Amino acid sequence: MLRIQFLKLLSVVILLSNCKEAPKVEVERPSPPNVIFIMADDLGYGDIGPYGQQKIKTPFLDKMAKEGLLFTQFYAGTSVCAPSRASLLTGQHTGHIAIRGNRQHGRRNGQMPLAANQMTLATLMKAAGYRTGLVGKWGLGNPGTSGDPLKQGFDFYYGYTDQILAHNYYPEYLYRNGEKEKLNNTVVYQDSKLWHEGLGSTSTEKNDYSNDRFTREALSFIEGEDRKSPFFLYLALTLPHDNGEQLPDELFEVPDQGRYASKPWTKNQKDYAAMVTRMDHTVGMVRATLDSLGIAEHTIVIFTSDNGPYRSHPTTAFFDSNGILRGGKRDLYEGGTRVPMLAVWPKTINKGRTSDHVGAFWDVMPTLAELVGQKQPGSSDGHSFLPTLLEKGTQTTHNQLYWEFHSSQGALQAVREGDYKYISFRSTDKDSIRQELYKLSEDLGELQDLSTVLPERVRRMDSIANSERTTSEFFQFPIED
């Protein structure tokens, strides 16, 4: 298990101008709490101080861990952006959701949208009387499609709707409630024949940094004039995702390198560290705003990442971004799916706790449903972890967790059942299937394949994997591009 280390809070000047259903938990409070869900992008399990990071400073996340609850075994929806976020928003794992990969399926401007009439976290919270806001990266449907955030329960949104456009931190525009808001940047779009179909870009004049905008919009939403209703804010930062269309030594776009400028590191390393610390500052500003408004004790803040970091990036090994976890983004090894997960709610969640409860993104919807007194959607694959947050009631646990991931090379499936983790690799050749089995309690790094030692368990877990997925027109086994 990765070593958990809490660092002393640093003084920072911030210059930014993000089974069965368990019994119901009775919580004494005057009204439902505000909910802020903060998501980082491609942040590794070991990239922040509470999970053992040594080189990058994250004082506000360190403070959040000291004042709240840290999960050691929490999982993303899968190991890439769009399906992982779809899992979070719908409460379903990737064997059931429609969006199971980042592929666009002929949609020139963006990826697959969420379906019309889809139950989402935002529609759930809106039904409970919440003011709902999205700030940052959406990636589940562009304006005018069924996945438009305004059609998926959000009263307000600001940011990127397209995940490829979101690679550029100095974009031409951001969307505000479906309307383009031009920024003071000069953007060069790349060849439409490349994989990103001309949506990938770089900027030759950089003035307006998107994540600074996100911070301001998030604080403005929290400070909103409507104080009669509780609010739900989904703050989906793009930090510290790279811009893969940049030159190899300029992958990580950030206005300045801050405290890391004088480090004897490469440019990418200094930029990446600055991005993570900048993300941490946003968390600090959100919590400081709650304090200044006197609503911190009436607000639960949750922080996580959408998936693990690129396993082969020039920063991953240097910062030990995944500790001993194997793999990263686009893998179904632990490094691709196990993510940091922190929750703080002053005077309600007890301070300085660590939980080994095994949970996943599809548990967030039933948790919030129970929190705000709404019925859990029947389509959800999750279980509320509110009993773990509040240390009240009986915590329901999963018999197994399921993931899948699709690319043009083939498809992956994974199942966690107790301590055991099963992964199958299916290439585009139907006859090519590789199976692996690991015991995480003894081999968290997934280095000792037990598939030949425990063939019966492999067969059973493969059967579970196949029973956990519904067929998909677009995401088949194997994929046929």
Over the stretch 138-192, which tens digit does the pLDDT of each residue have?
999 999 999 999 999 999 999 999 999 999 999 999 999 999 999 999 999 999 8
Structure confidence at residue 475 (pLDDT): 87
Sheet holding 410-417: strands in order across? 401-407, 410-417, 420-427, 433-439
CA distance 479 to 151: 30
**Three-point CA angle 346, 57, 445, nearest 5°:** 90
Total count of residues recorded for the chain: 481
CA distance 179 to 137: 15
Cα 404 to Cα 87, 308, 412, 471: the distances in Å are: 11, 15, 5, 12
Beta strand ranges found along 33-172 (DSSP E): 34-40, 69-75, 131-137, 156-160
Q: What is the model's pTM?
A: 0.92
Q: b/e string for 386-403 if b means 16 or more Cβ within 10 A? A: bbbbbeebebbebebbbb
How many Å is the maximal CA-CA distance in the chain? 62
Query: Which residues in the chain land under pLDDT 70?
Result: 1-30, 104-110, 429-432, 478-481
CB 1 within 8 A of CB 265: no
Structure confidence at residue 427 (pLDDT): 81
Structure confidence at residue 108 (pLDDT): 53
Q: What are the φ/ψ torsions at residue 392 (nearest 5 degrees)?
A: -140, 140
CB 325 within 8 A of CB 333: yes
Structure confidence at residue 481 (pLDDT): 34
Residues 6+ apart with CB under 8 A from 302: 35, 36, 37, 38, 341, 342, 343, 364
